[in-house]
Amino acid sequence: MRLDPKFALSWALLSYVDARGYITQSLPPTAALREEARQAAETALTLQPNLGEAVLAKGAYHYFCLKDYDTA
């Protein structure tokens, strides 16, 4: 993302990894990690709204971080 901050797929994958790491506790499940997952998903969707991985990342954020299964 440092090389190309407009590369939506990288933002989507960051969000997904953060969300999975949050729920599995392979990463420390902090509020900062949860927020990074949300922001990365939002960035991916802003850059490329029809990118399937971005939609998946947003769903993973709701599912894994918020346990908001209906929204996910």
| Burial zone of 58 (CB within 10 Å; 0-12 exposed, 13-18 middle, 19+ buried) | buried
Tell me what pLDDT residue 1 has: 80
Tell me what pLDDT residue 34 has: 98
* Distance between CA atoms of residues 65 and 51, nearest Å: 21
Tens of pLDDT, residues 13-71: 999 999 999 999 999 999 999 999 999 999 999 999 999 999 999 999 999 999 999 99
Give residue limits of the domains in the chain. Answer: 8-65
